[in-house]
Amino acid sequence: MARISSLAEAIRSAVHDGDTVALEGFTHLIPHAAGHEIIRQGRKWLTVIRMTPDLIYDQLIGMVSIGDLVKNIIAEQQFTIQQLEHYIHGA
């Protein structure tokens, strides 16, 4: 049976980290509130599907956390250090 819920409840129960999410609508029907609620709840690793690129798509893409970027930089630096140590020790 269908029930009425708030947008926050609907996003919390239907959108989970790692999900594929399609947010559709054109012109005045673009789902801005749903996109903003997903961002507010901090969902991660989403695959976002949009038929047309727009502001919501751009904002969802911008959700990449700074922690992910920092982890990637650290991993690259650790790899470089290992390569330099390998070169220095001639192993």
Question: Looking at the domain assignment, is residue 91 inside a domain?
Answer: no
Whether 47 is in a domain gets the answer yes
pLDDT one-digit tens code per residue, 8-61? 999 999 999 989 888 877 777 778 888 889 989 988 888 887 777 666 666 676
Q: What is the pTM of this model?
A: 0.60
pLDDT per residue as tens digits for the range 63-89:
666 667 777 788 889 999 999 999 999
Instruction: Give the range of the structural domain holding residue 46, as residue numbers without chain letter.
Output: 7-64
Start-to-end CA span in the chain (Å): 67
* pLDDT at residue 45 in the model: 83
- Tokens at residue 30, please? 């673009």
Q: Which residues contact 37 (CB under 8 A, 6 or more apart)?
A: 7, 8, 11
* Structural domains of the chain, count: 1
Q: Is 82 part of a structural domain of the chain?
A: no
